[in-house]
Structure 1
């Protein structure tokens, strides 16, 4: 297959603007040259990418699939060429980071704000996804790196722990256990629980802790987001085991959070593909997130 970079850039310009003339202006080619490039690309691929009429340009299913992947590939190529030639001193560009929901809500906003202050030429793009989707995005190269709860299988990933986040008990202030400042896991025996579902990276660790202590608990609801669990606890449906980081900075309002002993914690990690080092821009954002997490660790120590 002999596909040229010019053909791909022409196709991307058409996919973005849905117009051959504007695409030609964007890439510096005449309209006949644009049409020829698309014809050559379709011939090489053996697929029709565009349906063109006198009034509109529509991407075929194959064209849509290529367009979705091509933007990322060409952005990476442009960044690589800029770095090789020293353009802008590799100070400007886009960094894509995927993060699981609890971390997106309670860690990443501070990181994005700090990036805007310290690295204003870097565009920090956050993808808020469940943990497995974060890992899939990292493995597929759709993002520069991910922020996750320690995954069970990391043979193909390089991970760096940045923060330990202990599990706590969340309960109404009138609950029989709320008067104690610290609680033991054994105190949960027989209690009704509202827990995060198995899409959360925390659930595996919670289940292991409950089993390790031989606890018999009724799991009444399994939900996708801590806020949902908090509202259910408020309504008396059950109490909840949550990572400390799940509590919003302003606190839990009508609920209380108590430490659980012996301490069980989840490790928050930055991960990237083991065989692919992040770009210099992504490495700067990686270091920035590590620093913000370090500040949080110092404040809670």
Structure 2
């Protein structure tokens, strides 16, 4: 099979923009040359990759499959060729990280900002996905590493806990349980609940805590986003058990939040493929995420920042240093 690098780059440009003319502008080819390159690639593969009409360009199933994997392949190839040829220092390149929604919203912005400040040559690309998709992305090599809630099955992954996030009770201020400074899990017996659905890494842990503490509850609604959960609680549909990190920084003006006893927390973990070393760039970003989580935890607990590693605050070393 004689597939050329140019053919793959042309296909990627067409797949991204769904337009032959724009793809030609990106790769420096005329529209006929783009069409010819696509036809040659399809001939080599023995598959039709695009359905083209006068109005639109649509990826076939084979085209979608190739496009989904091509970014990673070409980026890896670019990085390898640049490294081998000595055209790029170790300071620049892309690092792909996948994380589950509450972590994407509440932990990752600070990590990305720190990376931009301390290692401006690194492109920190975040993929915001449900937990199972994060795990799949790590296993397939689509991303360098992931940030998840402790997975139930991860024998094939290396996992490093970076943060403990306690569950809290969210309820209307007028609710009888809101009159207590803290609430026991067993006191939730018989309460209508509005919870995150099972796509969340937290739901399994919440269900286990309720069962362990003998609280049988009717789950009225199962939802995918914390904001929707909060709106349901405001509407009086039920009360909720949520991870602390799901709460907005400004708090919940219309709702009360109470700690649950005994304390149950979810472990936030960095994950990567076991026995697969990270690139130096990905290793640096791994450290940024780990140390940013530690700084956040210290800020919440009131611990002195001097006790927290600050590797993430150090500039990324120059090539050869």
Contact 2:194/2:222 (CA < 8 Å) preserved in 1?
A: yes
- 2:236 pairs with 1:236: yes
Question: Unaligned stretches of 5+ in structure 2?
Answer: 302-321
Number of the residue aligned with 1:139: 139
Q: String of CA shifts for 1:62-109, please: whole Å, max 9, x gaps.
A: 344323322221011111222334433121222221111111111111
Q: Structure 2: how far apart are the matches of 1:169 and 1:60?
A: 46
Number of the residue aligned with 2:73: 73
Contact 1:20/1:35 (CA < 8 Å) preserved in 2?
A: no
Aligned residue pairs total: 299
Question: Unaligned stretches of 5+ in structure 1?
Answer: none
TM-score by length of structure 2 reads: 0.82
Q: Structure 2: how far apart are the matches of 1:39 and 1:226?
A: 47
Number of the residue aligned with 2:291: 291
Number of the residue aligned with 1:83: 83
Number of the residue aligned with 2:315: none
Q: Structure 1: how far apart are the matches of 2:57 and 2:167?
A: 51
Q: String of CA shifts for 1:149-193, please: whole Å, max 9, x gaps.
A: 011010121111110101111112221121221221112112121
Q: Structure 2: how far apart are the matches of 1:224 and 1:187?
A: 25
Q: Structure 2: how far apart are the matches of 1:33 and 1:124?
A: 33
Contact 2:10/2:23 (CA < 8 Å) preserved in 1?
A: no
Q: List aligned pairs for 1:1-301, cutoff 5 A.
A: 1-12=1-12, 18-19=19-20, 23=24, 26=27, 41-49=41-49, 58=57, 61=60, 62-301=62-301
Secondary structure of the structure 1 residue equivalent to 2:164? strand
Cα–Cα, structure 1 residues 78 and 205, in superposed 2: closer, same or farther, change >3 Å? same
Q: String of CA shifts for 1:40-76, please: whole Å, max 9, x gaps.
A: 54343222445789x8995652344323322221011
Q: Give the Å deviation of 1:285.
A: 1.2
Q: Structure 2: how far apart are the matches of 1:106 and 1:56?
A: 41
Contact 1:165/1:265 (CA < 8 Å) preserved in 2?
A: yes
Q: Structure 2: how far apart are the matches of 1:60 and 1:10?
A: 14
Cα–Cα, structure 1 residues 178 and 30, in superposed 2: closer, same or farther, change >3 Å? closer
Q: Structure 2: how far apart are the matches of 1:20 and 1:233?
A: 51
